[in-house]
Amino acid sequence: MMDSLGTRIRQRFDELGISQAEAARASKCSTARFGNYVTGTRNPDLETLARIAIALRTTTDWLLGVSDAAPVDIEVVLRRILELDGMPAPRASVIAQAAEEALRLLASLPSGGDAQTRALLAAQAAWQLKSRPAPR
């Protein structure tokens, strides 16, 4: 049996360890409307569905049950790639965190405007993380 959209949304924010209210805020939805999506009372429009997928670090295909491919934690994947390329683990971790933060910030910027400008703003803000000391 295929899980409903609401079931998958709940499963994902539970896996991420965030509350329903935090997931709603990250998706730029009111908590009431987001609650309707979780309970299946309403279905999101395509733009909102995309924002939910970005906020929950997954794909619309997974949320809709079209794909059973597990959501990917970008930070973990990028860190592992950098380590395999010979980068020391602490530095790889800092860069992977910056990339994850850039994606999160990009998702939080208003959807209007030039995509390149939005991406540059997100990358610039995230790269400020590079000044943080590497974890030991």
pLDDT of amino acid 6: 96
Q: pTM value?
A: 0.59
Terminal-residue alpha carbon distance, the chain: 45
**Low-confidence winner among 17-31, 40-54, 65-79, 86-100 (lowest mean pLDDT):** 65-79
- Spatial distance between the Cα atoms of 36 and 127, rounded to a whole number of angstroms: 36
Which residues, 6 or more positions from 7, have their beta carbon under 8 angstroms from its beta carbon? Answer: none
φ, ψ (nearest 5 deg) of residue 78 = -65, -45
Cβ(27)–Cβ(108) under 8 Å?
A: no
The one-letter amino acid code at 119 reads A
Greatest CA separation found in the chain? 50
The torsion region of residue 113 among left (phi > 0), alpha (psi -120 to 50) and beta comes to left
| 79-115 tens-digit pLDDT | 777 777 888 888 777 777 777 777 766 666 666 666 6
Give all domains of the chain, ordered by start, each with its CATH number: 5-64 (1.10.260.40), 74-131 (no CATH)
Distances (CA, A) of 90 to 12, 94, 103, 120, 136: 28, 7, 20, 25, 7
Quick one: which of 11, 2, 6 has its CA closest to 35? Answer: 6
